[in-house]
Structure 1
């Protein structure tokens, strides 16, 4: 028996990944694409509809309402989260924090907590009748805000997502800061720059690529938000409806209304929206860097 030559080794090593990639990504995507080209009939079957489902999605107010919710959510959540992550990364990089490793771990641990568990924890804390926040407010004799009301829901969701992902973004930015050449800081010190001036005027501009990367990831994550609103829907169904986010809407169409074909089309349109927005962000940052 002759063993494969060295040229075949990369293919053999990649084969398990390629098989899993095809089975769990390519095949489901292809199946969903086929589903999106059909629609249910009154007789109980399906018929080929071409791009009609996609045309319907483009005019679906529920879909665009979810996009608008997430756009409003991202406008204040993403900048706050990335600003916190950058501030923590700078403090860790400067070495001004005692027990730096423990401090870094404390901020990263929430990312290791599954989003379902994190949302259940915060849902309990937000509870208007049983939550610790409400109990503490009553003990102090002050009115307790209903964090699950329509006025507070976006902020409550933003708090949960920020708690989950600020540590993840901090690690990316901190790693980028650590990779900045020491010669740049040494030259700035010789020019009389203070530690904060070095951090803000030398190091932060040097990690622009990492900042853009975290920004794009955060925007994509915002548009794909699902676990948090879906779980809070059980606590506050009157505020978080079936089309609060695009992914919640696609889920409700598929598993509540059994509109699998239309749900698949919604998912593909959402993917296209995310791809376009990501490309525009990358294009804008590239032009900003060359100007």
Structure 2
């Protein structure tokens, strides 16, 4: 009986093996080699075993780590704001009737259901100073808003990410709130607790694990951001450079400069950074509350 139940996990593990484990092994293997050309570059190219040279080169790559720093700073600002907004919306939905919550829940989920590329194209159009409606609107208010400038590009990308992510995070937190026994709230009301007091002292602590889960997913997704800045680059290449984010730098090395071995090494380094950051955050936050 246990074997029959476990057999339902076979498709997942097969997909995980083929599309996660195998590519990682291949990337690790490729990162240990270097492709070199003979003569002035016109001769045949050879692939030689180079050990960890590509990793050492990656650790000394200032542009790659500069892009990592940019994304890390962006994540440190955007993720808390997105999480607080998602939590606030989930608390608001939990405080209204199920019928009202159902209507607003669908409305808030619409941005998440739109494919990422399509959502980015929509906002690239909205941000456009030529055809977009936002620049003329702010001009009426006396504000010169250039959403593609160096000082605004991260705000533009952050707004797009928040627009797409808040609905998903809200749904996870709202579902967690719905699993809390309603008797706890009734008892709190009898004791004279206000809605704000119940939210802060009862609801938020009880959904802490869901907050940790959505934050870990946000860390993983933000540190690997690619499609959003890549499409913004088509509009403002002088602001969004080819190594603007770590994934963009890896993509450039692999497909623009043709150094797949070095790109594979950078991919492994990025995976280790993302895994370490997620594990540290999970370790520090996912602890049982002390009584």
Q: Same fold (TM over 0.5)?
A: yes
Q: Structure 1's 18 and 198: CA in aligned 2 closer, same or farther, altered over 3 A?
A: closer
Per the alignment, residue 126 of structure 1 pairs with 127
Summarize deviations over 1:95-119 as a string: whole Å, max 9, x none.
1698322211111111111110111
After superposition, residues 97-246 of structure 1 pair within 5 angstroms as 99-138=100-139, 140=140, 142-246=142-246
Per the alignment, residue 89 of structure 1 pairs with 90
Q: Structure 1's 100 and 66: CA in aligned 2 closer, same or farther, altered over 3 A?
A: same
Note if contact 1:133-1:144 (Cα within 8 Å) is conserved in structure 2.
no
Summarize deviations over 1:228-282 as a string: whole Å, max 9, x none.
0111111111111111111111111111111101111111101100111111112
1:261 pairs with 2:261: yes
Summarize deviations over 1:196-244 as a string: whole Å, max 9, x none.
2112221111111111111111111110111101111111111111111
The whole-number CA distance in structure 2 between the counterparts of 1:206 and 1:15 is 33
User: Which of 22, 25, 30 does residue 20 from structure 2 map onto?
Assistant: 25
The whole-number CA distance in structure 2 between the counterparts of 1:143 and 1:211 is 36
Note if contact 2:75-2:222 (Cα within 8 Å) is conserved in structure 1.
yes
Note if contact 1:35-1:264 (Cα within 8 Å) is conserved in structure 2.
yes
The whole-number CA distance in structure 1 between the counterparts of 2:98 and 2:74 is 32
How far did residue 32 of structure 1 move?
A: 1.3
Farther off after superposition, 105-114 or 22-31: 22-31
In structure 1, stretches of 5+ residues that fail to align are 1-5
After superposition, residues 52-91 of structure 1 pair within 5 angstroms as 52-91=53-92
Note if contact 2:55-2:265 (Cα within 8 Å) is conserved in structure 1.
yes
Note if contact 2:212-2:286 (Cα within 8 Å) is conserved in structure 1.
no
Note if contact 2:209-2:286 (Cα within 8 Å) is conserved in structure 1.
no
In structure 2, stretches of 5+ residues that fail to align are 39-44
Per the alignment, residue 41 of structure 2 pairs with none
Q: Structure 1's 183 and 227: CA in aligned 2 closer, same or farther, altered over 3 A?
A: same
Q: TM-score, normalised by structure 2?
A: 0.91
Partner secondary structure for residue 106 of structure 1: helix
Structure 1 residue ranges, 4+ long, deviating more than 6 angstroms after superposition = none
Q: TM-score, normalised by structure 1?
A: 0.91
The whole-number CA distance in structure 2 between the counterparts of 1:23 and 1:64 is 30
How far did residue 7 of structure 1 move?
A: 7.2
Note if contact 1:91-1:97 (Cα within 8 Å) is conserved in structure 2.
no
How far did residue 287 of structure 1 move?
A: 5.5
